[in-house]
């Protein structure tokens, strides 16, 4: 039964579906909020929620054709033709009307904007959000995952005016949330905005129960033998994930039973890197497998075999996790590996060094390149069940202290108290 303290909260992004980090964290936030009685609703270009609680507006997707045309004209260029400005504002007007309908239809008390006021993959959506928040003064948490100044591809652009206005905006009804301390410092330095750090989290109070029914025949679906050693790379196929280091590791292990499995399909940032990885693996004699995390309409027979598999179905079958990223805003796959009690190799990307490494995890750590010691450590873990058990149990306990739902619950309660009072 709703109470005066129950809030109707709308999540907004370009995409709130699938297994990308933004969608996963939004789902976790919603779970925590709904546990204490709030109701959550959804607005995006792609949404995988119940249609009764969401508005799917295709124009909000970053891959909407008009938005792709805008991005092609503004990034890598310094001048913005008038017709591009007109296209931006035409799409902004459409999206603003959609957002107003979202707020009014579901009688929303608050918005949580997931990265749409952070990374400028959809300029019109960021402008529309900034305007609707300014017009309505609706309390808003802007959840920032990665800023434009963290991405080389946005460095040269013809939209500096819009970036200053909306990515992120300076509005009194917005509370800003970042996922690491470097982002907090940069946001204060560049925009003069205070923010709260809420790291990525998982429900460490409720450990996984083991392979789900849909994953019980995972090895058969993947064409893997019972004796194969699964080295899992649980990330999207994008260059900053450093997947070539995982290929090198499997090559150096020198065991034909070792199979490198990538959990996500390529596509978000093109297919060139995936093709290069496939060729590199072939040259090195590494058995590399791409597993689409969800099959789509028109999927191949191979993809269709994985239609109902989630990451929770895949992780339990992994023998070892590789996470050699060059850059991460935080690192969802890192926490997932810890949650599913898997040993892992990790590269010392900047946020790991500053925010995660000091917590005292037990990991195989590379610093930009694989060493003989890294290889020996991986071999020891694969061959010693006792070493593996100590490692994963220690890591789970550390993560439970620092990256649990309890941390998220406490910090969300504080942010909402700023809007609605201490009892919210």
- Asked if 78 contacts 156 with a C-beta cutoff of 8 angstroms, the reply is yes
- Dihedral through CA 178, CA 180, CA 185, CA 190, nearest 10? -50
* pLDDT reading at 305 higher than 80: no
Query: Percent of the chain having pLDDT more than 70?
Result: 91
Task: Band the pLDDT of 217: cuts 50, 70, 90.
Answer: low
Identify whether the C-beta of residue 321 lies closer than 8 Å to the C-beta of residue 299.
no
Look at residue 13 and give its three-state secondary structure: coil
Are the C-beta atoms of residues 173 and 418 closer than 8 Å to each other? no
Sign of CA dihedral 297, 235, 151, 335: positive
Instruction: Say which residues have a Cβ less than 8 Å from residue 326's Cβ, sequence separation at least 6.
Output: 239, 240, 241, 242, 347, 349
**Tokens 């290929």, residue located:** 247
- In the predicted structure, residue 114 carries a pLDDT above the cut 70: yes
- Which pLDDT tens digit goes with each residue over 79-109? 999 999 999 999 999 999 999 999 999 999 9
Task: Report the chain's mean pLDDT, rounded to a whole number.
Answer: 90
Percent of the chain topping pLDDT 90: 78
pLDDT at 303: 39
- Go through the domains of the chain in sequence order and give each one's CATH number: 8-201+405-420 (3.40.50.2000), 213-402 (3.40.50.2000)
| Residue 11 near residue 112, CB atoms below 8 Å | yes
Q: Residues 367, 369, 372, CA angle at the centre, nearest 5°?
A: 100
297 has pLDDT over 80:
no
């Amino acid at each position: 039964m709703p109470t005066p303290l129950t809030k109707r909260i709308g999540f907004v992004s370009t995409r709130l579906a699938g297994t990308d980090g933004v969608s996963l964290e939004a789902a976790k936030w919603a779970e925590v909020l709904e546990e204490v009685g709030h109701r959550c609703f959804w607005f995006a270009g792609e949404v995988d929620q119940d249609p009764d609680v969401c508005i799917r507006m295709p124009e909000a997707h970053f891959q909407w054709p008009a938005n792709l045309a805008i991005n092609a004209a503004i990034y890598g260029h310094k001048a913005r033709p008038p017709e591009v400005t007109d296209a931006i504002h035409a799409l902004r007007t459409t999206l603003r009307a959609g957002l107003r309908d979202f707020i009014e239809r579901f009688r929303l008390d608050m918005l949580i904007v997931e990265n749409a006021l952070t990374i400028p993959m959809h300029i019109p959506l960021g402008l529309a959000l900034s305007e609707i928040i300014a017009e309505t003064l609706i309390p808003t948490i802007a959840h920032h995952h990665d800023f434009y100044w963290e991405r080389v591809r946005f460095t040269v652009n013809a939209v500096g005016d819009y970036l200053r206005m909306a990515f992120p905006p300076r509005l009194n009804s917005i509370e800003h949330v970042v996922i690491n301390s470097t982002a907090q410092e940069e946001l204060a330095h560049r925009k003069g905005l205070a923010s709260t750090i809420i790291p990525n989290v998982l429900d460490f109070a409720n450990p996984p129960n083991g392979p789900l029914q849909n994953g019980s025949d995972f090895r058969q679906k993947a064409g893997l033998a019972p004796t194969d050693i699964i080295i899992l790379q649980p990330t999207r196929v994008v260059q900053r994930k450093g997947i070539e280091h995982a290929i090198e590791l499997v090559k150096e292990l020198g065991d034909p039973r070792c199979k490198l499995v990538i959990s996500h399909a390529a596509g978000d940032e093109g297919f060139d890197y995936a093709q290069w990885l496939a060729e590199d693996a072939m040259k090195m004699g590494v058995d590399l497998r791409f597993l689409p995390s969800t099959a789509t309409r028109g999927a191949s027979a191979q993809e269709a075999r994985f239609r109902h598999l989630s990451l929770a179905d895949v992780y339990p079958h992994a023998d070892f996790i590789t996470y050699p990223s060059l850059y991460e805003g935080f690192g969802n796959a890192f926490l997932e590996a810890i949650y599913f009690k898997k040993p892992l190799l990790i590269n010392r990307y900047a946020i790991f060094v500053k925010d995660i490494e000091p917590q005292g995890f037990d990991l195989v750590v590379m610093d930009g390149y694989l060493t003989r010691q890294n290889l020996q450590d991986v071999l020891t873990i694969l061959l010693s069940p006792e070493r593996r058990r100590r490692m994963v149990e220690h890591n789970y306990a550390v993560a439970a202290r620092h990256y649990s739902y309890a941390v998220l619950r406490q910090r969300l309660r504080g942010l909402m108290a700023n809007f609605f009072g201490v009892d919210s």
